[in-house]
């Protein structure tokens, strides 16, 4: 076979196999001049921020990758130089459609690694009440617009994993966009969001030790919320302190510990928002909640995606089983369980489902009545 024939065969195989050639052009947007060195890190190169095979030359980079969408981020050769919005706040991963011949990307700034909380979100000041395991824990509070003039106290929901909830906070590049969601819904709700403990997250958000992954400090973590954080919030902000107006929520292990709270502190929490719960980690939790949960009406919103879990359908089945267990023991509880077709275990799903879940709480008693009630005198 001649060299020319071999080249034609290889080119044909390359084209037939679904690979495409895409040229990416980078442009300046905003006040900052374009730096000299740019790289593209993504799912195609194990997120290497300084891969010489993906270095821009004169603002251009040609990719030969499978003809499909990929996640990517522009870097300056290390993760200290990751692309951001013009204010320096983290930019979510880009999704690049490599079926196009060319793509134009606009660079604004490098991330400045500072917190850029959205409007309405405030960091609680350091206080002895906010120390956990001998260290100050960052805790954020979202206050609805005009709350000072509302002349009434607000229901409150305690969320886990604050770093992943709000755009502008350091953490996952994907966010729930919780502040923007609350702004748009205009719900009379105060949210308290607690930063997770980094490498201690698994321990804090699980009540029992998992044989493979450890954990088991969840009750101590809930004690911190109930006996330190909540009294601070009750004393400093216009929140309704009664059980029926106090809720807790989270996703994955955050969802697991939120359901656990209904067993550990049934007299404190009147409901839970439980997204993509990691029931596999502590499978005994639903039975314990059923056994020790409050006899008073309780609100639970469960949500799970069909593409979650290691085995087909296992995560969905665990969630439905939890619903059945709780329904059997507590027929007076209001439990909504939603299964989302093709939903995956990530912030994209949780951001998409959040508005529906929050609105659901305000469609049930007593929040439905509260939402339309008059102001306090």
Considering only CA atoms, which of 63, 213, 238 is closest in space to residue 141? 238
Instruction: List, in order of start, the domains of the chain with CATH numbers.
Output: 3-110 (2.60.40), 121-371 (3.40.50.1820)
SS3 4: helix
Count of positions (residues) in the chain? 377
Give the per-residue pLDDT at 114. Answer: 67
How far apart (Å, rounded) are the C-alpha atoms in residues 150 and 154? 9
In this predicted structure, the answer to whether residue 377 has a pLDDT above a threshold of 50 is no
Q: Note the pLDDT tens digit of each residue in 281-332.
A: 999 999 999 999 999 999 999 999 999 987 778 999 999 999 999 999 999 9
Residue 68 CA to chain centroid, in angstroms? 26
d(CA 247, CA 107): 41
For the segment 147-155, the average pLDDT, to the nearest whole number, is: 88
- Angle formed at CA 286 by CA 232 and CA 271, multiple of 5 degrees: 40
Q: What pLDDT is attached to residue 163?
A: 92
Percent of the chain with pLDDT over 70: 93
The pLDDT tens digits of the residues spanning 178-230 come to 999 999 999 999 999 999 999 999 999 999 999 999 999 999 999 999 999 99
Measured N-to-C along each axis, helices 178-185 and 347-361 cross at an angle, to the nearest 10 degrees, of 30
Q: What was the pLDDT predicted at 141?
A: 97
For 118-137, write each residue's pLDDT tens digit: 889 999 999 888 999 999 99
pTM: 0.75
pLDDT at 219: 98
What mean pLDDT, rounded, does the chain reach? 90
Instruction: pLDDT band for 169, please (50, 70, 90 cuts).
Output: confident
- Average pLDDT (87-97) is 84
pLDDT at 1: 56
Do 106 and 28 contact (CB within 8 A), yes or no?
Answer: yes
The reported pLDDT for the residue numbered 159 is: 98
Percent of the chain past pLDDT 90, that is, above it, reads 69
pLDDT of 2 over the 60 cut: no
Q: In Å, what is the CA distance from 130 to each residue of 26, 121, 139, 143, 249?
A: 44, 17, 8, 19, 19
Question: How would residue 372 be classed by pLDDT, with cut points 50, 70 and 90?
Answer: confident
């Amino acid at each position: 076979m001649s060299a020319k024939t071999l080249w034609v065969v290889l080119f044909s195989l390359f084209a037939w196999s679904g690979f495409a050639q895409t040229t990416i052009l980078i442009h300046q947007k905003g006040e900052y001049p374009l730096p000299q060195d740019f790289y593209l890190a993504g799912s195609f190169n194990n997120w290497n921020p300084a891969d010489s095979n993906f270095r821009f030359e004169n603002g251009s980079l040609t990719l030969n990758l499978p003809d499909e969408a990929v996640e990517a981020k522009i870097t300056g050769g290390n993760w200290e130089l990751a692309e951001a919005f013009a204010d320096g706040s983290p930019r979510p991963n880009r999704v690049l459609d490599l079926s196009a011949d060319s793509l134009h990307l606009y660079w604004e700034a490098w991330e400045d690694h500072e917190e850029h909380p959205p409007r309405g979100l405030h960091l609680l000041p350091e206080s002895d009440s906010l120390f956990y395991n001998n260290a100050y824990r960052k805790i954020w509070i979202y206050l609805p617009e005009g709350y000072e003039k509302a002349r009434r106290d607000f229901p409150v929901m305690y969320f886990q994993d604050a770093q992943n909830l709000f755009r502008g906070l350091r953490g996952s590049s994907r966010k729930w966009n919780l502040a923007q969601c609350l702004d748009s819904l205009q719900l009379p709700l105060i949210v308290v969001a607690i930063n997770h403990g980094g490498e201690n997250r698994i321990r804090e958000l699980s009540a029992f030790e998992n044989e493979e992954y450890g954990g088991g400090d969840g009750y101590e973590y809930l004690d911190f919320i109930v006996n330190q954080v909540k009294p601070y919030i009750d004393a400093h902000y216009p929140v309704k302190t009664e059980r029926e107006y106090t809720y807790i929520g989270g996703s994955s292990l955050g969802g697991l510990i939120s359901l656990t709270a209904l067993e550990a502190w049934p007299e404190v929490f009147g409901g839970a928002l439980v997204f993509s719960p990691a029931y596999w980690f502590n499978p005994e939790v639903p039975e314990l909640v059923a056994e020790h949960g409050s006899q008073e009406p309780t609100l639970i919103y469960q949500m799970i995606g069909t593409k979650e879990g290691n085995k087909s359908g296992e995560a969905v089945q665990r969630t439905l089983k939890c619903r059945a267990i709780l329904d059997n023991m507590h027929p007076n509880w209001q439990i909504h369980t939603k299964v989302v077709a093709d939903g995956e275990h990530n912030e994209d799903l949780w951001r998409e489902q959040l508005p529906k879940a929050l609105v659901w709480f305000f469609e049930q008693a007593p929040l439905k009545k509260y939402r339309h009630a008059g102001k306090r005198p």
